[in-house]
Structure 1
Amino acid sequence: MYIKKILLAIVFIGLAVAAYFAYYVYATMFVSNTNFNNDVAYIYVPTNASYAEVREQLVPLLKNIDRFDALASQKKYTTNIKAGKFAIKKGMNNNDIINSIRSNNLPINLSFNNQESLGKLAGRIGAQIEADSLSLLKAMQDTLFLNENGFTPATSLGMYIPNTYEFFWNTSAEQFRDRMLTEYQRFWTDARKNKAEAIKLTHNEVITLASIVHEESKAHDEQPRIAGVYLNRLRIGMPLQADPTLKFAAYQLPEYQDTVIKRVLNIHKEIDSPYNTYKIAGLPPGPIAMPDVSAIDAVLNYEKHSYLYFAADAQRLGYHKFAKTLSQHNANARAYQRYLSSQGINR
């Protein structure tokens, strides 16, 4: 009888332990452990991150970090961290959370346009992916990479076609640069290549001219006409005389740092620079900014006409008046200069 009592006690204790263990396992693995009100929260796990770094991001998102720790250790997540952007949905249990941050790296939509230099582009990209701006700029400026792929420091900005692209957050600087080369090559379809060949411009020259067109006008419907003016000038050996190139040349000089040139003056035309298209013949060495695709296609699909000149239209701001003769152009230019003076814009 005594032995039966002992055996029964052992059985009850065993059942109690088993029940507790079963509950603990259930609570650890299958009970919701999120502690936020939004539908989803995101964590960003850097390359080569430790579990402590991941845990630091999880603490404010979870009700019971200790139970998460136990399961993470059991499932060997603590020694097998994956880098990337991961989602934790409201109501997830620890098992689901671990599965999500172990294997469900989410892509991001990375966007850029209208960047004036590689440095500014690197800053824009560095704010969206793991790679920092310094490592991005170093990769973009790598001499070996540029030489192998037909670019120079002056033309390198033209490799980056503005758009929205899908990337993983943990993309490295070199991976970003190499992907952009692939996108650049994809951009140059046979149709675009044939059009560039027809106007006797290289791909780099097309983008250089497009950057000038884009700085002259953001109006998509006018860009092909402006492109036609510059191509007409190139054909007859006339200097481009593009005011945006003067501004670009000026901004490279110490005295013009942190200034905004609103009115191009004769003094700007005397700047000694390969970007001064009032002094040099043909195109400058590279793009003066990042052109939109609309401007690139405007060059490739330029409007055929006889215009050689254009001046800003004071009565239709953002657009221009076009002329075939210098006398007509001078009249248009004087009208715009009077408008600038009336607005107190003298420099």
Structure 2
Amino acid sequence: MRIWRHQRQPDLSGSRLIPGVKSVEPPVNRLILAVISVLAAVALGAAVLGLQVSQFLNSALAIPDDSVVFEIPAGSAFASISRDLAGHGYIEHPGWFRWYARLTDQAAAVHAGEYLIDAGTTPRQLLQMFVDGDVALYSFTIVEGWTFRHLITALIENDTVDVSIDYEDWPAILNSFAAAAQHPEGLFLPETYRYPKGTTGVDILRQAFTLMQETLAAEWQERDQNLPITSPYEALILASIVEKETALAAERPRIAGVFTRRLQQRMRLQTDPTVIYGIGVDFNGNLTRRDLRTDTPYNTYTRGGLPPTPIALPGRAAINAALQPAAGSALYFVASGLGDGSHKFSDTKAEHDIAVREYLRRQRASRDNARGQ
């Protein structure tokens, strides 16, 4: 009789190590591990690079002084701009700067011009300056009392202004501005104008012309009533005479008052600056009695009323004085001779003659003192 013994089945639920035999992992597992390792390395590298780029974008540029001027020529590619910045030593990583500009879609939005870069500016801020067109601005001041000829000369001598005009071009300039006046004198407001390098002289003249028209129109609306002038242009003429007669702000309305009353009484203005303007470039600085007797359209000793055009560029204060003159009774004035630019005002010719003699006495005393020293 056979006795059957139960045989234990092998345990297939797990694996057992067989002595002397290495376990073998499936190829798929090794590939996954390799991919994970590569991705982790890439992620770590990207994180490190991102941190470095962020630090670069938010760290101050290497500006050697308090500020530098950097110019972007018209038509420059951003790669060229980045290289120039690196060439000057302002940025260390031009590639990062270029990459950031392109990634943020700003590389094609920069503006040409000169930029004033202050110490402490970061690459991120610099790019924003380029995109905003926050270019360096220069200043040009038109001085009260200049003539148009002085103005043109000053523009030509300014190397930050692109000037291709000269004094003789004024008819074409006025025509381009659609100016009603037939002469350029007095039409440009004395003021300080700010502009980027390369601005043309005509552009600055256009700004000054426009501002003068606006100022004159506003002052004309606020003018006193019963003035002897009948148009804004006549006001400009009178203001230019006031401008040339005194540099003292407090005296402008008083001098305008004298001229207003003389015009109302049909007296000749008899003002030296108009005579000098009529002499023109031939004036040698010495006004003689012969000059006062020589008739020109601008000689207010030989002709009544206002001269045909302004004789200078009047400022806002002179325009205001001409249209709102001070009340009073004075019909004459002469320099006081005190050395402060002030004048002596008189109601009558007799009083004026005394003031003139006093002025001459002071002038002689001043010359004698100078010789004695």
TM tier, shorter chain? 0.7 to 0.9
2:173 counterpart residue number: 142
SS in 2 for 1:158: coil
SS in 2 for 1:310: strand
2:371 counterpart residue number: none
Higher relative contact order (CA 8 A, sep 6+): 1
Give the 3 Å change call, closer, same or farther, for CA 103–191 of structure 1 in structure 2: closer
Contact kept in structure 2, 1:30 and 1:93, CA below 8 Å: no
1:332 counterpart residue number: 355
1:139-178 superposed matches below 5 A: 142-146=173-177, 148-153=178-183, 156-164=184-192, 176-178=204-206
SS in 2 for 1:322: strand
Deviation at 1:34, TM superposition (A): 0.6
Deviation at 1:209, TM superposition (A): 1.4
Give the 3 Å change call, closer, same or farther, for CA 211–304 of structure 1 in structure 2: same
Contact kept in structure 2, 1:240 and 1:277, CA below 8 Å: yes
Q: Does 1:283 align with 2:306?
A: yes
Q: Does 1:118 align with 2:148?
A: yes
* TM-score, scaled relative to structure 1: 0.75
After superposition, what is the alpha-carbon deviation per residue over 1:107-148, rounded to whole angstroms, capped at 9, x for unaligned? 9595543251335435667899965244697689523235x3
Partners of 1:119 and 1:240 in 2: CA distance: 24
SS in 2 for 1:249: helix
User: Aligned AA for 1:144?
Assistant: N
* TM-score, scaled relative to structure 2: 0.70
Deviation at 1:102, TM superposition (A): 0.5
Partners of 2:86 and 2:252 in 1: CA distance: 51
Contact kept in structure 1, 2:247 and 2:341, CA below 8 Å: yes
Q: Does 1:50 align with 2:76?
A: yes
User: Aligned AA for 1:121?
Assistant: L
CA RMSD of aligned residues (A): 4.1
Partners of 1:122 and 1:73 in 2: CA distance: 44
Contact kept in structure 1, 2:138 and 2:160, CA below 8 Å: no
Q: How many residue pairs get matched? A: 335
Q: Does 1:311 align with 2:341?
A: no
Give the 3 Å change call, closer, same or farther, for CA 191–264 of structure 1 in structure 2: closer
SS in 1 for 2:186: helix
User: Aligned AA for 2:247?
Assistant: K
Q: Does 1:205 align with 2:231?
A: no
Contact kept in structure 2, 1:277 and 1:284, CA below 8 Å: yes
Give the 3 Å change call, closer, same or farther, for CA 334–232 of structure 1 in structure 2: same
SS in 1 for 2:344: strand
Deviation at 1:281, TM superposition (A): 2.7
Give the 3 Å change call, closer, same or farther, for CA 139–286 of structure 1 in structure 2: closer
Give the 3 Å change call, closer, same or farther, for CA 87–26 of structure 1 in structure 2: farther
Structure 1: runs of 5+ lacking an equivalent? none
Of all paired residues, the percent bearing the same amino acid is: 24
After superposition, what is the alpha-carbon deviation per residue over 1:179-221, rounded to whole angstroms, capped at 9, x for unaligned? 4444334324566336277313321221221121122112222
Give the 3 Å change call, closer, same or farther, for CA 191–73 of structure 1 in structure 2: closer
1:342 counterpart residue number: 365
SS in 2 for 1:267: helix
Q: Is the deviation greater in 212-221 or in 233-242?
A: 233-242
Greater C-alpha Rg: 2
Partners of 1:299 and 1:336 in 2: CA distance: 26
Partners of 2:327 and 2:272 in 1: CA distance: 22
SS in 1 for 2:52: helix
Partners of 2:82 and 2:225 in 1: CA distance: 53
Q: Is the deviation greater in 183-192 or in 307-316?
A: 183-192
Contact kept in structure 2, 1:158 and 1:287, CA below 8 Å: yes
Give the 3 Å change call, closer, same or farther, for CA 285–185 of structure 1 in structure 2: same
Partners of 2:50 and 2:171 in 1: CA distance: 51
